[in-house]
Structure 1
Amino acid sequence: MKIVFRCDPALADHLPRPVAAGDALPDWLRRMPVTARSELTGQAVRTVKQCPPFVEAMRTGFLMPLPCDVRVEAGRFEWDWQIPGPSVREHPRAPLAFHVPAQLSGMPGHDPRHAAIKFNSFWTIELEPGWSLFATHPANREDLPFRTLTGLVHADLFNDAGINFPALWTEPDFSGVLPKGLPVVQCFAVPREPAELVFESLDASRAAGYSALVQAVMAEPGVYRKRFRPRRPRG
């Protein structure tokens, strides 16, 4: 899968590039202990840092970064981003825009008193034929003060303009800076051809495999990581 990103030539030296998600894991995950004492059992248990599916979700796809620092104070968003004027007509210049509250009327979790923010994209994204772009909130990033809404764009066809990413602001009391490079959305290329759903009962062989695998997982930590996790290519 080749994914092509393009930007306004006047801004090429001023924009952080989209990054492979595995190259931008959050610091809290790196600092997280691999075991912690459980108050329920009184014993040390493995944390989600040792759960490959949890971490792999955070390592998959790519992240779109915030292009500059954004200061947030009492619900007010400000930035001081000194960039050249874009050379392409109709191109955004601000890192953020907004959706009026009425556009999300009836959506659970939306406060009708507040507008939704919209992260403007400064990169176009082109996928190979037959593939679409699944865009969602960065996986397991509950530390972020917003919740990016999920969308699917047919980016093999729609790729002449940037894709903007709406989000609900979830921490009204937040005061601070959203730093340049902060991931605002995580994206995956997904095949547009619908999957065929097949339903079967476990035969004797599959039933034996089920029991053996569950016993192995319960008996020894790291079975999934050692036996079922593909090696990631270096490069």
Structure 2
Amino acid sequence: MPPPDTSQLLTFRCPKELEGLLPPPIPAAQGLPDWLKTMPQEVSSEIMGGQNDTVKRCPPFVDAMTSGFLIPLICDIKFENGEFTWDNDLPPCGTINFPRSPLGLHDSTQLTGTPFFESDRFVIKFHNLWTIEAPEGYSLLFTHPVNRFDLPFTTLTGWVDCDNYRDGWIHFPARWRDTNFSGVLPKGTPVAQCFPVKREKWSLRTAVFTEEETQRTHDLIGLMSRETGVYRRRFRV
């Protein structure tokens, strides 16, 4: 029997003491927010005159949210009056050291000169206790969960070569955006979304339309103005 194909397999590992205690990473399609599930596909619009599709019918919007994998918050975190608290009862570890708190921080001076810098505010860091191994030649792009502006934080974007760096933790710096938030972020809340990206060298060029390309664009724009769902039917993979 041939060995299984692992060319498109991400492997998430955790210390054995934490098996069954940590919420696992999940395919992003399994972690869609309730607001996307319950929102209508079309609404009446006085401005447009008649019915108008919502973003729920926009394949690029939905496909971005359902691609890749979501990394979960490891326990409930309460934020109230500018203070974070949590109760994270992890067992002692006899094999390897790992953070026992769900949060760390970055000194604000590390962001000096960036739009994120605020002298009186730390940047939090969500701790992730899963190592991640990608196939050879692949890196992972980590970013804020796509289109999740309902979350009170914004995770910063980073790129990690997880085919080589596969035995260490990857934590996620984030800016706590909603200072008026008061409540609990539940265990399992997505704190980052990751996308496997094959490392390749690309270049670019610019060009003007040929007559044939002009006609193709003219025909496509006309078709899309007359019919709905053209991209979904003809171009979406």
Please classify the TM superposition score into its range, dividing by the shorter chain length: over 0.9
Query: 2:69 corresponds to which letter in structure 1?
Result: F
Please show how residues 129-208 of structure 1 align to structure 2 within 5 Å.
Answer: 129-208=136-215
In the alignment, does 2:64 pair up with 1:67? no
Give CA-to-partner distance per residue, 1:111-134, whole Å, 9 cap, x none: 221101101111001111111110
8 Å Cα contact 1:22/1:59 also seen in 2: yes
8 Å Cα contact 1:9/1:87 also seen in 2: no
8 Å Cα contact 2:105/2:124 also seen in 1: yes
Query: 1:128 corresponds to which letter in structure 2?
Result: P
Q: How many pairs were matched up?
A: 230
CA distance in structure 2 between the partners assigned to 1:87 and 1:126 by the alignment: 23
CA distance in structure 2 between the partners assigned to 1:149 and 1:73 by the alignment: 23
Query: How far apart are residue 228 of structure 1 and its match?
Result: 1.4
Structure 2 gaps, min length 5: 1-7
- State the TM-score, normalizing by the size of structure 2: 0.93
Which residue is 1:122 aligned to?
129
Aligned residue for 2:169, secondary structure, equals: coil
Which residue is 1:14 aligned to?
21
Which residue is 1:233 aligned to?
none
- State the TM-score, normalizing by the size of structure 1: 0.93
- Name which of structure 1's ranges 17-26 and 41-50 shifts more when overlaid on structure 2: 41-50
8 Å Cα contact 2:143/2:194 also seen in 1: yes
Query: How far apart are residue 193 of structure 1 and its match?
Result: 1.8
8 Å Cα contact 2:144/2:192 also seen in 1: yes
Give CA-to-partner distance per residue, 1:75-126, whole Å, 9 cap, x none: 2111112221133433111111111111111211432211011011110011
Aligned residue for 2:209, secondary structure, equals: coil
8 Å Cα contact 1:4/1:127 also seen in 2: yes
Give CA-to-partner distance per residue, 1:197-222, whole Å, 9 cap, x none: 23333223322221111111111111
CA distance in structure 1 between the partners assigned to 2:221 and 2:33 by the alignment: 31
**Aligned-pair RMSD on alpha carbons?**
1.3
In the alignment, does 2:40 pair up with 1:33? yes
Give CA-to-partner distance per residue, 1:32-55, whole Å, 9 cap, x none: 111122242343211111100000
Aligned residue for 1:28, secondary structure, equals: helix
In the alignment, does 2:217 pair up with 1:210? yes
- Name which of structure 1's ranges 11-20 and 100-109 shifts more when overlaid on structure 2: 100-109
8 Å Cα contact 1:21/1:62 also seen in 2: yes
CA distance in structure 1 between the partners assigned to 2:88 and 2:203 by the alignment: 48
Which residue is 1:55 aligned to?
62
CA distance in structure 1 between the partners assigned to 2:131 and 2:196 by the alignment: 14
Query: How far apart are residue 8 of structure 1 and its match?
Result: 0.4
8 Å Cα contact 1:131/1:191 also seen in 2: yes
8 Å Cα contact 2:88/2:100 also seen in 1: no
Of 95, 105, 108, which aligns to 1:101? Answer: 108
8 Å Cα contact 1:110/1:168 also seen in 2: no
- Name which of structure 1's ranges 191-200 and 117-126 shifts more when overlaid on structure 2: 191-200
In the alignment, does 2:86 pair up with 1:82? no
Query: How far apart are residue 226 of structure 1 and its match?
Result: 1.2
8 Å Cα contact 1:35/1:44 also seen in 2: yes
Query: 1:94 corresponds to which letter in structure 2?
Result: S
8 Å Cα contact 2:75/2:86 also seen in 1: yes
